[in-house]
Amino acid sequence: MKEEIIYHIDQDVIELNNPVMIVGLPGVGHVGKLVADHMVEALDAKKIVDIYSEHFPPQVMVKEDSTVELVGNRLYLAKTDKMDLLILAGDSQSTDPAGHYRLCEIYIDFASQFKVNRIFTLGGYPTGVINAEDYVIGAVNNIDMIDELKEKNIQFSPSEPPGGIVGASGLILSFAKFRNIDAACLMGTTTGYIADPKSSKVLLGRLCDILGIEVNADALDEKIKDMDQIVEKIKDSVVGEDGEEYYEQAPASEEDLVYFG
Amino acid sequence: MKEEIIYHIDQDVIELNNPVMIVGLPGVGHVGKLVADHMVEALDAKKIVDIYSEHFPPQVMVKEDSTVELVGNRLYLAKTDKMDLLILAGDSQSTDPAGHYRLCEIYIDFASQFKVNRIFTLGGYPTGVINAEDYVIGAVNNIDMIDELKEKNIQFSPSEPPGGIVGASGLILSFAKFRNIDAACLMGTTTGYIADPKSSKVLLGRLCDILGIEVNADALDEKIKDMDQIVEKIKDSVVGEDGEEYYEQAPASEEDLVYFG
Amino acid sequence: MKEEIIYHIDQDVIELNNPVMIVGLPGVGHVGKLVADHMVEALDAKKIVDIYSEHFPPQVMVKEDSTVELVGNRLYLAKTDKMDLLILAGDSQSTDPAGHYRLCEIYIDFASQFKVNRIFTLGGYPTGVINAEDYVIGAVNNIDMIDELKEKNIQFSPSEPPGGIVGASGLILSFAKFRNIDAACLMGTTTGYIADPKSSKVLLGRLCDILGIEVNADALDEKIKDMDQIVEKIKDSVVGEDGEEYYEQAPASEEDLVYFG
Amino acid sequence: MKEEIIYHIDQDVIELNNPVMIVGLPGVGHVGKLVADHMVEALDAKKIVDIYSEHFPPQVMVKEDSTVELVGNRLYLAKTDKMDLLILAGDSQSTDPAGHYRLCEIYIDFASQFKVNRIFTLGGYPTGVINAEDYVIGAVNNIDMIDELKEKNIQFSPSEPPGGIVGASGLILSFAKFRNIDAACLMGTTTGYIADPKSSKVLLGRLCDILGIEVNADALDEKIKDMDQIVEKIKDSVVGEDGEEYYEQAPASEEDLVYFG
């Protein structure tokens, strides 16, 4: 099994209204994943495609009812008044570098097939600081998008993030450019130590503002309460020379993140 | 050599009676492997297929007579009154993530080819505790199996194991679902530190109960005696806050497991 | 996406005048990369090919204008009075061993296609010593090149470097030999701890001398000033038994190098 | 470049006299490599094939004359009165598990093509002890070979080495069995800490005895003198409970071995 794509819709006849693709996969602080998973629930999105691949971990998850589900990514369709949203969400990114390239080609093929107008990939931007300000950093594949996004309170700093953007959130921007699809990556600032629904809520707000839609955020508020309790417990933090609070330890790897999605 | 499948039977004409597949490959505590290896011996099963692959370690084992055997997995056939058992046993799982997917496709192809009705994959469930209770946790690919398995004293807890099931024991369940074959993973609880024939004996008992067959367990009792001696030696254990005994060190990697299979 | 090659020129009709290929990719002290990047700027070279590959990291870089650029290598054309230079520069080498072989075949295909007469691959030679003498070590794929290069002050020591030459700088020499193209690797001595524009300036001087061209080095001088400040800060060095200054720590991995290119 | 095989002979018409294949690639103590390299020189063997592969390290070696040589393996032909020897020697084994399988298929294809009667793969057997006795352990792919080899003073112990045989020395035995070619692996006992020409000399002696040929060992004696000096220097050894001398540190990885081949 190299890749297996299972359609739950008749993809040949489906006609979408002003389709926009939203990508929120696991990553720094799971900021993007939390937004995408939340939108799927809050907008009652319908799963239209399952994507499995040998580039994902060789693993099944066990659901609440004790049935298993193969690790994979999923494409959901959420219909709103203004537009149809294709939301790409899932359990994992590629386990190997080449797999990122191969999976992102699959993702961008969906964008082409469903004739999406724009793509927004969602991610986190690690700052190491606990009380990060509530802002969202952007990067684009078409310089013409910047003015519009700035008006919606997206920050653009030269060459930020300095290490570039790793994984699907970045590759999809470049792959979309090869197909002449406008795409932006929106990154919520986060500590980088734990899953961060607070940052996700900020990011969701900005995204809704850009799209001109509304999404109820109650479920994220629940997660924020849980997060605050965890942060209280682990607050063996130190105050850095710049007056900011830092965790004492190095940033956790993606796998170590406490994820309560 | 990508994969090499060597048949020792005429697979085109073989007709099996109510075939059930049992999968017991190396894993946590080698609980599943010990059961499968034991069943092969106790039921005098006949090797019908050798499976070699570049996804296994590049290694030969040396047998007692100083001849070598390429690392691989093997499919055995054991005939009982009630059913024919196809037992998948072997030396190793894949060395790389993608290999798990490719090998499990081979395994499930055998299940299809031999028209098996059900698959039971056997594994261990690490608890970190020495005196684990004698229970077996289950996960299924078809919710209809749960009631029957509960009656046979298999435990089901929501979303357990929390990290999902890694490797062949998990993938086979999902791949079987794609082919409409009912499959369950049965996991014996074990410390996760050493090969655990005690847990294997419990698991074997449950499996026999489910299948309605009997398998002599004397050889496992021998291994349990050996294990008890080893445990006595390394019992520099501490009593945890919950009153349970824990080993002082972190769980060993799969390779470090003392395996006396 | 295995490999994607994007031409910005009509490669079928392009005629080059005495073409020579220069290869300067990331490596020890980024000595070669700094030279190639500098030559592209100083000679106002024109990008003629973009090379993308799944063997590069799955990553985009963010440019000053907040647009993204997929990690890759690039082939530039610089026209001088004496010759046309094809300069191969870029962000990364392969992330996996096999990828080096596959990418270097692409590079050598360009050399064949553009009928280059000679190839110079540029790299660093780690000495562990801060005040390395200003010399450049060479290795060739054709023994006839040695006398000429010695006249230009390139050093040749038997079997040096002792560990061979890893990555594109080495492979290209052997691959060029298979196509009967003369090629030499020129390695500037460097500490191996930090990006080293000083060594790059020495290497650039030798290369210009060999080619018989002149390249303004002002921009490298700027980088050297920056480097000197960094070195002052980290000079917690010790004096070894041989009177040389050594850093106290083990050489940094390529990724840890402070790169200010 | 996946694999590149360069013949230096007309392989279609070559007729060999009673051909036997000897395999001595890098491994534990470089015992096998030292024997094969020595035989190539002492018997004035002629290189007949170069084998390059992306499964080898992406690296060139620099020769004494400052020309480079791509890392690879080589097949040599040495003619003796009694038989023709095909000696497989080289710089490296595969860098990845799957590559071992693919390369060994190439090696066994040569054995088939040149109609070799028998294969002897040479390796080291790590004991951790400095003053290892002078014995050589064997494993075979055909039980009928054991009596003959025992007569030539090869030791056979049940299931030894306990961890099996990793890499080409082992795989070739199983692959040869698939082609009905008798093959044995002969392992010289060695500390596992440094390259061990002493063990190689013992192994060479046994091999010559089996083949019924003579090979001058003077060059190995030179290497043994060098080794003895090194051992004197590093003899910060301790005497273990069993009265044997052990090095204080854990066995070095293959890469760390002091190799003076």
In the stretch 78-107 of chain C, residues with CB closer than 8 A to chain D read 94, 97-98, 100-102, 104-105
Sheet containing strand A118-126, strands side by side: A3-7, A46-53, A73-79, A84-90, A20-24, A118-126, A182-190, A136-140, A154-155
Q: How many CB atoms lie within 10 A of CB B236?
A: 8
More confident residue, A37 or D135: A37
The count of residues in chain C is 261
Structure tokens given for A103: 């999976």
Residue A142 has pLDDT above 90, yes or no: yes
**Which of D102, D160, D165 has the CB atom closest to B60's CB atom?**
D165
More confident residue, A4 or B75: B75
More confident residue, A117 or A246: A117
Structure tokens given for B132: 């684990």
Residue A255 has pLDDT above 50, yes or no: no
Cα distances (Å, whole numbers) of residue A180 to A119, A133, B99: 11, 34, 36
Q: Say if residues C28 and C256 touch (Cβ distance below 8 Å).
A: no
- The parts of chain D modelled with pLDDT lower than 50 are 238, 240, 246-261
Structure tokens given for A163: 């290490």
Q: What is the mean pLDDT of residues A209-214?
A: 97
What is the 8-class DSSP label of residue D251? Answer: P
* Distant-in-sequence, close-in-space partners of A51: CB < 8 Å, separation ≥ 6: A3, A4, A5, A6, A72, A73, A74, A75, A90, A103, A106
More confident residue, C255 or A51: A51
Give the pLDDT confidence score for residue D254 in this predicted structure: 41
Percent of chain C with pLDDT over 70: 87
A69 inside 8 A of chain B by CB: yes
D67 inside 8 A of chain C by CB: yes
C/D touch flag: 3 or more CB pairs below 8 Å: yes
Supply the angle between the helices D31-42 and D218-233 in degrees, to the nearest 10. Answer: 150
In the stretch 186-245 of chain A, residues with CB closer than 8 A to chain C read none
Give the pLDDT confidence score for residue B191 in this predicted structure: 85
d(CA C35, CA C26): 10
What is the 8-class DSSP label of residue C55? Answer: T
**Which residues in chain B have Cβ-Cβ distances shorter than 8 Å to A66?**
138-140, 143, 146, 156-158, 160
**Which residues in chain A have Cβ-Cβ distances shorter than 8 Å to C102?**
none
For residue A161, say if its preceding peptide bond is cis, omega within 30 degrees of 0: yes
- Residues A65-122 have pLDDT tens digits of 999 999 999 999 999 999 999 999 999 999 999 999 999 999 999 999 999 999 999 9
Q: What is the mean pLDDT of residues C21-49?
A: 96
The topology under which CATH files domain D3-256 is Rossmann fold (3.40.50)
Whole-number average pLDDT of chain C: 88
Residue C45 has pLDDT above 50, yes or no: yes
- How big is chain C by its Cα radius of gyration, in Å? 18
Give the pLDDT confidence score for residue B230 in this predicted structure: 78
Question: pTM higher than 0.80 for the full model?
Answer: yes
Q: Which residue has the tokens 């800490």?
A: D193
d(CA B90, CA B34): 10
Give the pLDDT confidence score for residue A130 in this predicted structure: 64
Q: What is the mean pLDDT of residues B66-76?
A: 97
Q: CA of B61 to nearest chain D CA: how many angstroms apart?
A: 4
Give the pLDDT confidence score for residue C235 in this predicted structure: 62
d(CA A248, CA A242): 15
What is the CA D208 to chain-centroid distance, rounded? 14
CB burial of A8-32 (b: ≥16 within 10 Å; e: otherwise) equals eeeeeeeebeebbbbbbbbbbbbbb
The count of residues in chain A is 261
Question: Chain B residue closest to D138 (CA)?
Answer: B66
**Which of D100, D167, D174 has the CB atom closest to B68's CB atom?**
D174
Give the pLDDT confidence score for residue C10 in this predicted structure: 84
**Which residues in chain C have Cβ-Cβ distances shorter than 8 Å to A100?**
54, 58
C148 inside 8 A of chain A by CB: no
For residue D161, say if its preceding peptide bond is cis, omega within 30 degrees of 0: yes
Inter-chain CB proximity D97 and B55 less than 8 Å: yes
**Which residues in chain B have Cβ-Cβ distances shorter than 8 Å to D102?**
1, 54
d(CA B76, CA A249): 51
Q: Say if residues B108 and B141 touch (Cβ distance below 8 Å).
A: no
Choose among A82, A26, A97, A50: nearest CA to A253.
A26
B58 inside 8 A of chain A by CB: no
Q: Say if residues A207 and A85 touch (Cβ distance below 8 Å).
A: no
- Coil, strand or helix at A259: coil
Residue B250 has pLDDT above 80, yes or no: no
Whole-number average pLDDT of chain A: 88
Inter-chain CB proximity C68 and A102 less than 8 Å: no
**Which of C102, C143, C167 has the CB atom closest to D67's CB atom?**
C143
Q: How many CA atoms lie within 13 A of A79 on its CB side?
A: 6
Residue C250, amino acid:
A
Give the pLDDT confidence score for residue D180 in this predicted structure: 97
* Distant-in-sequence, close-in-space partners of C144: CB < 8 Å, separation ≥ 6: C182
Question: Chain C residue closest to A162 (CA)?
Answer: C62
CB burial of B94-111 (b: ≥16 within 10 Å; e: otherwise) equals bbbbbbbbbbbbbbbebb
Choose among A197, A195, A196, A186: nearest CA to A22.
A186
d(CA C197, CA C194): 9
Give the pLDDT confidence score for residue C238 in this predicted structure: 46
Q: Which of A165-174, B239-248, C249-258, D2-11 has the highest mean pLDDT?
A: A165-174
Indicate the pLDDT class of residue A12, thresholds 50, 70 and 90: confident
Q: CA of D255 to nearest chain C CA: how many angstroms apart?
A: 11
In the stretch 104-123 of chain B, residues with CB closer than 8 A to chain A read 104-105
Q: What is the mean pLDDT of residues C128-152?
A: 89
Give the pLDDT confidence score for residue C133 in this predicted structure: 67
Indicate the pLDDT class of residue B218, thresholds 50, 70 and 90: very high
Neighboring chains of D (3 or more beta-carbon pairs < 8 A)? B, C
**Which residues in chain D have Cβ-Cβ distances shorter than 8 Å to B5?**
none
* Distant-in-sequence, close-in-space partners of C143: CB < 8 Å, separation ≥ 6: D65, D66, D67
Indicate the pLDDT class of residue A235, thresholds 50, 70 and 90: low
Q: CA of D99 to nearest chain B CA: how many angstroms apart?
A: 8
Residue B55 has pLDDT above 80, yes or no: yes
Residue A241 has pLDDT above 70, yes or no: no
Give the pLDDT confidence score for residue C257 in this predicted structure: 42
Helix (H) or strand (E) holding A77: strand A73-79
Q: Say if residues C87 and C76 touch (Cβ distance below 8 Å).
A: yes
**Nearest 10 degrees: Cα torsion B191, B197, B201, B207:** 80
All structural domains of chain D with their residue ranges: 3-256
- Residues B97-146 have pLDDT tens digits of 999 999 999 999 999 999 999 999 999 999 877 655 688 999 999 999 99
Chosen for mutation from C52, C53, C68, C260 (greatest number of chain A CBs closer than 10 Å) is C68
- Coil, strand or helix at C176: helix
Give the pLDDT confidence score for residue B131 in this predicted structure: 59
Q: How many CB atoms lie within 10 A of CB B230?
A: 13
Indicate the pLDDT class of residue B243, thresholds 50, 70 and 90: low
